[in-house]
Amino acid sequence: MTITVGPTDTPTGAGVGLSEQAQTRTRTFADLVEETGHLKNRTRVLVEDSTQLHQDSARLYDETLEQLLRTATGDRVKESVEKLLSHLSQLGFAWRDVARLAGVSVPALRKWRTGERATGDNHRRVAELVAFCDIVRQQYLIDEVASWLEVPLMPHVPVTGLDFLAVPRFDLLFRWASDLQVDPEELLDDFRPDWRSEYSSSIEVFVASDGQRGLRFKDAT
Amino acid sequence: MPDELEAPDDPEDLYLARGPEVILARPLLTGDVLDGIVIPGLDDAPGLAIIVTHPCSMRRDGVDLADRLLTARVEAYQPVAPEQWKGHWKVMPLPTLMPTPAGHLAARLDKIGLVPSGVVAAATRIACLTPYGVNLLQQRFIWHLTRFCASTSRLNETCAAVFEEADLHEEWVAHRVAAGSEVAAAAAEFHAWIRSEDSDSVRRQERLIDPQRLAGIRREMRRELGH
């Protein structure tokens, strides 16, 4: 079987100047296979190129965010620890969370709040936390940043943005903040590959008839 | 691993405050370690004891302590390495609780008794556990009694609101006491505020169940305190 192409009534730009014979040659399925194969290869190359471009731009984005965080931290560290803690207080952070993120005890944090000096490293950690909140609020319009950080990513998996911060994994937090399509499971896979088995449980929380919360096996009704 | 007895990565994760770090502004709660306690039913001398009453049962009306609180004796015990926490079912190890000539300490879950809350309230508090420490204590106590293992993350879901309220209570009272109030008066003031309704006619105390609401309640409380 053959397919006959043309001639066309009105020559296209590509056809202008070609002989009548060239326009009317018969093409075979073999020709089509070759052409579509070529097209497929070109498409694959384009996909690979665009994937690479996406990865490169994502890496560049992460690097610029890290640089932005460093710069913002450098600005914030000029403020006293007391003032930085006041910012976090106004955002609604729990002191026990701030203490954990700063790597100190709650009593040590209490002393900072009343004016006692922190070490340089601790001061920088608190400044970095405030700078991170600045970026998330300004770049991604997440105004309730403390709430955003302390709500678990998924129901019944006790991992929150605060856990990412404690490590710290700013890259995951920025991805979570910037990408509306991001799947929380992907973030958890990156953060803690064993999270599915670690947090699987045969028990669940329920509200008892007296209003108190209790535990029971999942198949109990 | 899920539903297995757990161990802290670092013993420091167990303690919110020890010795002089403990402040009166913090309400009595499960996991508080007290000195000079006589536990009825145990034929021993006054000594260290830890509150093991469930956090939700500490107060009969959400404000005043229950008449009696369940406590367990804290005494010298062999060191328990992290990998050994799956055993030693009769104790809650309390490593680094305090320096003692007797060595390490542990709460004896087989030496328990009810102590009048007045005695507990008047005793010297030498340590408070973190929420994670309280959850571990509960996990081991439940295991000791029933051989049922509840993960600390699930236990935390049942008690998180109580832990949050204790933190808010401490912050409120510490702030008011620094401004010249008495502890009891400041505590009463806090209880009135946390049990009052917010602008949506919902009691603030009920809001503490929802993690999404916590930052807002803290901000509101800090504004109320004039921070």
Q: Which residues of A100-135 are buried (b: 16+ CB within 10 A; e: fewer)?
A: bbbebbbbebbebbeeeebeeebbbbbbbbbbbbbb
What residue segments make up the domains of chain A, in order of their start?
70-178
Q: Which residue would you say has higher pLDDT here, A6 or B50?
A: B50
| CA–CA separation, B63 and B191 (whole Å) | 7
- Give pTM, 2 decimals: 0.85
| pLDDT tens figures, B187-203 | 999 999 999 998 889 99
Residue B24 has pLDDT above 70, yes or no: yes
Instruction: Chain B: give the shortest CA distance to residue A170, in Å.
Output: 21
| pLDDT tens figures, B55-72 | 988 988 778 899 999 999
Mutation target to probe the B interface, by most B beta carbons within 10 A, among A90, A95, A106 is A106
Percentage above 90 pLDDT, chain A: 67
* Cβ within 8 Å, pair B219-A86: no
Residue A20 has pLDDT above 70, yes or no: no
A93 touches chain B (CB under 8 A): yes
Residue A24 has pLDDT above 80, yes or no: no
Report the pLDDT value the prediction gives residue A219, as an integer from 0 to 100.
76
Which range has the worst mean pLDDT, A65-79, B41-55, B69-83, B93-107?
Answer: B93-107
Q: Which residue would you say has higher pLDDT here, A40 or A217?
A: A40
Instruction: Chain A: give the shortest CA distance to residue B25, in Å.
Output: 12
| pLDDT tens figures, A168-193 | 999 999 999 988 789 999 999 999 99
Cis bond before residue A168 (omega within 30° of 0):
yes
Instruction: Chain B: give the shortest CA distance to residue A210, in Å.
Output: 12
Report CA dihedral (B97, B101, B105, B109) to the nearest 10 degrees: -140
Residue A16 has pLDDT above 80, yes or no: no
A37 touches chain B (CB under 8 A): no
pLDDT band at A72 (very low <50, low <70, confident <90, very high): very high
Show residues of chain A in contact with B219, CB under 8 Å.
90-92
| CA–CA separation, A89 and B219 (whole Å) | 7
Residue A149 has pLDDT above 90, yes or no: yes
| pLDDT tens figures, B158-188 | 999 999 999 999 999 999 999 999 999 999 9
Report the complex ipTM: 0.89
Contact residues of B toward A, CB < 8 A: 1-3, 12, 15-17, 21, 56, 130-131, 150-151, 153-159, 164, 167, 171, 174, 211-219, 222, 227
Report the pLDDT value the prediction gives residue B39, as an integer from 0 to 100.
97
Q: By three-state DSSP, how is residue B103 classified?
A: coil
Task: Map tokens 């610029």 to a residue.
Answer: A64
Cis bond before residue B93 (omega within 30° of 0):
no
DSSP string, A60-109: HHHHHHHHHHHHHHHHHTTS-HHHHHHHHHHHT--HHHHHHHHTS-HHHH
Report the pLDDT value the prediction gives residue B199, as an integer from 0 to 100.
87
Burial (CB count within 10 angstroms: exposed 0-12, middle 13-18, buried 19+), residue A53: exposed
Instruction: Chain A: give the shortest CA distance to residue B103, in Å.
Output: 24
* Cβ within 8 Å, pair B2-A202: yes
Mutation target to probe the A interface, by most A beta carbons within 10 A, among B157, B168, B210, B224 is B157
* Cβ within 8 Å, pair B167-A205: no
Report the pLDDT value the prediction gives residue A200, as an integer from 0 to 100.
84
Query: How many interchain CB pairs under 8 A, A with B?
Result: 92
What is the separation, in whole angstroms, between the first and last Cα of chain B?
42
Report the pLDDT value the prediction gives residue A202, as an integer from 0 to 100.
84
Residue A25 has pLDDT above 90, yes or no: no
Task: Map tokens 């919110």 to a residue.
Answer: B16
* Cβ within 8 Å, pair A92-B216: yes
Which residue of A107, A144, A201 is in closest CB contact with B154?
A201
- Mean pLDDT confidence for A21-44: 86
Residue A8 has pLDDT above 60, yes or no: no
Report the pLDDT value the prediction gives residue B62, as an integer from 0 to 100.
75
Report the pLDDT value the prediction gives residue A21, as an integer from 0 to 100.
54
Which range has the worst mean pLDDT, A23-37, B5-19, B138-152?
Answer: A23-37
Which residue of A107, A160, A212 is in closest CB contact with B21?
A107
A26 touches chain B (CB under 8 A): no
